[in-house]
Amino acid sequence: MTSSDRQESAHRSFEDAPAHVVEFYQENHREQTLEVASAKAERFKGLGQREMSAWEALLELDALVDESDPDTELGQLDHALQTAEAARMSDAPEWLVVTALVHDLGKVLCTFGEPMWAVVGDTFPLGCAFREEVVFHELFRENPDARDLRYSSETGVYEPGCGLDAVTMSWGHDEYLACVLRGRLPEEALYVVRYHSFYAAHSHGAYRELFNERDHALMPWVQRFQTFDLYSKTPDAPERDALLPTYRELLERWLPEPLSW
């Protein structure tokens, strides 16, 4: 299957998305405003909610099912194993296999009482115009920022070429986990974690006027990662007994110390 075929398949899955996925995006696109996302970032990027290892966080997500995902009904532990196995089987560098295993650990925000709309789903810039490349973009009509003239242009409150790090994204598990893992994994890994849900950019080429040289250099790693993440989802759970010891050893080598969440 070619890259374009995979993207078309993913697009069709949203066209046929079950009602709960549509309902999720109705709430997500209504509630994710620049003010709300900024407040949540200020609250959670300080960390200190809990202390636990990456392995403990992985097990914590065993029963969590992502309400925004039309492609799988498996829990996040199984999804993590599927993604990591896809990376390993492709001979990806070990840091990218580790990234594949931990990329969704930020969803532990749900265990802190955060609603799904503020944790999962595709991410998108705030403070500028909402683009049609964002899934269910028509649902932004209920978002107060859509009526704010300050945010009506392509770059909105940002300078062209400012770089994604200067952009306030919709809040969720990506940015949160990138904060948790800062200084623990390579720069490329943190970039993948931070922007792996930014499908409008990495799969559809939108928002490029906000990119700087760093974004152009690192976004190809996100695109490579997506071949493991999005397209490894199968309805059958992976063989946990065979895989968990291997991946526990991997995490103990790369992320041996407790993390502040």
Radius of gyration of the chain (CA): 18
Does residue 190 fall inside a structural domain? yes
96's CB contacts (< 8 A; 6+ apart) are 87, 188, 189, 192, 221, 224, 225
pLDDT tens track, the chain, 261 positions: 333 443 443 443 567 778 889 999 999 999 999 999 999 999 999 999 999 999 999 999 998 988 887 666 788 999 999 999 999 999 999 999 999 999 999 999 999 999 999 999 999 999 999 999 999 999 999 999 999 999 999 999 999 999 999 999 999 999 999 999 999 999 999 999 999 999 999 999 999 999 999 999 999 999 999 999 875 566 777 789 999 999 999 999 999 999 999
From residue 155, how far is each of 144, 166, 196, 209, 217 by CA, in Å?
Answer: 18, 12, 21, 7, 21
For 102-168, strand residue ranges (E) read none
Does residue 260 fall inside a structural domain? no
Q: How many domains does the chain have?
A: 1
Phi-psi map region of 127: left, alpha, beta (phi>0 left; psi -120 to 50 alpha): left
Does residue 258 fall inside a structural domain? no
Does residue 65 fall inside a structural domain? yes
Q: Where in the sequence is the domain holding 50, given as residue range(s)?
A: 3-252
As to burial, measured by CB atoms within 10 angstroms (0-12 exposed, 13-18 middle, 19+ buried), residue 201 is buried
Does residue 257 fall inside a structural domain? no
Does residue 259 fall inside a structural domain? no
pTM passes above 0.85: yes
Does residue 261 fall inside a structural domain? no
Give the Cα separation of 213 and 202 in Å (integer): 15
